[in-house]
A and B are shown apart, each in its own frame.
Chain A
Amino acid sequence: MTALSAYGLELRGRLHATNLELHAGRLTLLVGPNGAGKTSLIHRLAGIGEGGGTTLIGGEPLAAMPPVMRIGRLALLPATREIAWPLLARDLVALGLGGRRDPSAVEKILDSLDALQFADRRMDQLSTGERARVLLARTLVAEPAVLLLDEPAAHLDPARQIAMIERLRREAFRGAAVLASIHDLALARGFADRVLVMDQGRIVADGAPAQALAPDVVQSVFGVRWDSESGWVKA
């Protein structure tokens, strides 16, 4: 089932006319070198920024959806992890409900991310890994139909990166359409249902991981190849 469909998404100089459909129950991972337009694509999908294109969520145009209608339909985890105010972790997660008061939903999601023990700590007092879990909890708390995440695994150690992606798989299993950008090609290959490869503002490969991340694609887009002894080496 198509959860999100987008047509003609553009952002001047960063993203060229792009069409994309995301399907419910599937985890799509987005890879590409720095500056390839991953963030621009995610932002335009969420209707952020001045540029062309239309996004439909559940068949309805996103642009016409007021805030209250977006809760449970769309959530975005931005790349910046800085929170300017010393909010309590549980209060930050509650913002994801858009004003609806539901402390039990907040505790449930924090618990499922193993973050309940610091629910009453301030955001500025949490470690990077703890903060990442709280910010993820904020995006998940309303059980959105479409989840867009800009580098959710950034700044995490390898085990936590895997835990993060596994969590996103669970969201897909729940029925969400999940799109996340990621730098680790091995993770993308291992966990995604579908991989999008971006380069210079365009999607240049789209498909099953093995096919989208074929050696020739990786070499031409990233300029690296896999060496069984040394890992990634310059091509």
Chain B
Amino acid sequence: MNRFWWILLVAAMSSAAFASLILPATGLATLYRSDPDLLAAILTEVRLPRVLLALFYGAMLGGSGAAIQALFANPLASPDITGTTGGAALGSVVTAYLIGFSGPLGLAFGGVAGAALALLLLLGLAGRDSDSATLLLAGVAISAVAGAATALALALAPSPFAFYEAYDWLMGSLVDRSLPQAAMVAVPVLGALLFLIGRSHALDMLALGEAAAEAMGHRVSRLRREVVIATAIGIGMAVAVCGAVGFVGLVAPIFARRLTHAHPGRAILPAAMIGAVLLCLADVLVRFAPAGRQLPIGVVTALLGAPFFLALVLRMRLEWRG
């Protein structure tokens, strides 16, 4: 990847963040003249956490998507499609509504545990080098079970409003989060991403196959554990705060690998940057929903991502026929 693309990605991230901070801009100028303090409060306490959450959650989805795809040697694996975010959501719901730890730490713990469980299940069911059909089937099964179990947990919850309360969050929402909440996502996500980026080289070597990578001194089973743990922590924390958001983790790495000449490992950093841009833009789009309506951000990413996913599947099918 050359310098031009790095600069472009950094520029895209900054402009997306800036757009997310100031849009919609109507009224901001008037407010600046009438009540600058209120404007400052809106920007730092309402919009800034939202921008930060979009950037970090998007980056985590993109970066861990690239790492998981490299690990499974399959461009269809990703935390959102193959059930990791669903598992995290289930973990958080169970902790909050059934066990009753609805504090931020309880939710976070549940999210991380759920994500880890879903990833381990995926490894157990599909494993590495399994064909795309097996991987997708396993992922679909995990997503379906996680979704059904989440609904079950909400239905059995003592609070009769559980469904209603959880709906907004389950579909993914960055609205009305505080700066401490943003920090709660940013810190573990940054750690997990840096850790995954540190594994870029080993994951590139894994492109040669497990045996070749092992012979070169990369311990594949340890690498697998490390990627699973880092992904579970980052995704689990993000889901606990922002709910499940789909397709960014699938799409961002695919774009990123175009920039790294198909190197799966060194695509992690650009994939994180692209993921951050995508989620930030999706969040800007959400704000232009009809007045008085809240559009869950997960709906936007799914609406934009699903056609892309279908195109990918179609292309793979054509290549198989090839």
Please, which residue of chain B has its CB at the minimum distance from the CB of A123?
Answer: B262
Residues of A within 8 A of B204 (CB): 95
Give Cα distance in the complex from A78 to B74, angstroms. Answer: 19
Give Cα distance in the complex from A83 to B216, angstroms. Answer: 16
* Stretch touching chain A among B113-121, B171-179, B206-214, B271-279: B206-214
Contact surface of B with A, Cβ cutoff 8 Å: 73-74, 129, 201-202, 204-205, 207-209, 211-212, 214-218, 257, 261-264
* Residue of A47, A74, A78, A148 ringed by the most chain B CB atoms within 10 A: A78
B263 partner, pick from A46, A85, A98, A122, beta carbons under 8 A: A85
Question: B209 touching A80 by the CB < 8 A rule?
Answer: yes
Residues of A within 8 A of B216 (CB): 67, 70-71, 75-76, 98
A97 to chain B, nearest CB (A): 11
Q: Mark A4-39, 1 if CB is under 8 A from B, else 0.
A: 000000000000000000000000000000000000
Question: B208 touching A46 by the CB < 8 A rule?
Answer: no
Q: Does A82 contact B (CB under 8 A)?
A: yes
A84 partner, pick from B202, B207, B212, B217, beta carbons under 8 A: B207
Give Cα distance in the complex from A91 to B265, angstroms. Answer: 13
With A91-B261, A95-B205, A138-B208 as known contacts, state yes or no: A76 contacts B215, CB within 8 Å.
Answer: yes
Question: B201 touching A88 by the CB < 8 A rule?
Answer: no
Give Cα distance in the complex from A78 to B207, angstroms. Answer: 12
Q: Does A66 contact B (CB under 8 A)?
A: yes
Residues of B within 8 A of A75 (CB): 215-216
A140 to chain B, nearest CB (A): 13
Question: B217 touching A87 by the CB < 8 A rule?
Answer: no
Give Cα distance in the complex from A83 to B212, angstroms. Answer: 11
A48 partner, pick from B202, B211, B262, B264, beta carbons under 8 A: B211
Residues of B within 8 A of A91 (CB): 261-263
Please, which residue of chain A has its CB at the minimum distance from the CB of B72?
Answer: A84
Question: A85 touching B207 by the CB < 8 A rule?
Answer: yes
